[in-house]
A = this chain, B = another copy of it.
Amino acid sequence: MGGCKDIDETTDFKPKFDQNGLITCVVSDYKTHQVLMVAYMNEQALRLSLQTGEAHYWSRSRQEIWHKGATSGNTQIIKSIQIDCDQDCLLMAVEMPVRDNGHIAACHTGRKSCFYRDLALDKNGDITLKLQH
């Protein structure tokens, strides 16, 4: 068909990588939809993820490709990847191995999700955190 299509309806893949060549990737549990973590991909990490079916990210701290779980065993099998309306964010649904203790751990702290602290306003109007569990 051709012609111009708005970025939010096109099926052309036109990812907006940021000034560091990265795109935000929200990672969710493919069964429960729970958000597990947020990481970043560059073009190579995205291609490796699609080609291998396992999550690869760009480690901003180590400045290198990060094959998630390569050392910890907490790999992420990719079930689907979606891109958002303005093509500057990815959502990836993954399956993770259940460890010996019965848990799934996407977070380096051993928790299933990196999001385990709730924001709350205290009496003084200051923002504090509450650990879940």
A1 at the interface (CB under 8 A from B): no
Distance A68 CA – B10 CA, assembled complex (angstroms) = 25
Distance A9 CA – B109 CA, assembled complex (angstroms) = 9
The segment out of A69-77, A95-103, A117-125 that lies at the interface is: A117-125
Binary B-proximity of A9-20 (CB < 8 A = 1, otherwise 0) = 111110000000
Given known A33-B35, A85-B107, contact A80–B118 (CB-CB < 8 A)? yes
Q: Give the number of copies in the complex.
A: 2
Among candidates B34, B80, B81, residue contacting A33 with C-beta atoms closer than 8 Å: B34
A24 at the interface (CB under 8 A from B): yes
Name the interface residues of A42-98: CB closer than 8 Å to any CB of B.
46-47, 50-51, 80-86, 89-91
A72 to chain B, nearest CB (A): 14
A4 at the interface (CB under 8 A from B): no
A90 nearest CB neighbor, chain B only: B119
Q: Which residues of B contact A81 (CB under 8 A)?
A: 118-119
Distance A52 CA – B14 CA, assembled complex (angstroms) = 36
What would 11 more interface pairs be, CB under 8 Å, given A13-B126, A33-B35, A50-B121? A8-B108, A11-B128, A11-B129, A11-B130, A24-B38, A35-B35, A35-B91, A46-B127, A47-B127, A85-B107, A85-B116
Distance A119 CA – B46 CA, assembled complex (angstroms) = 10
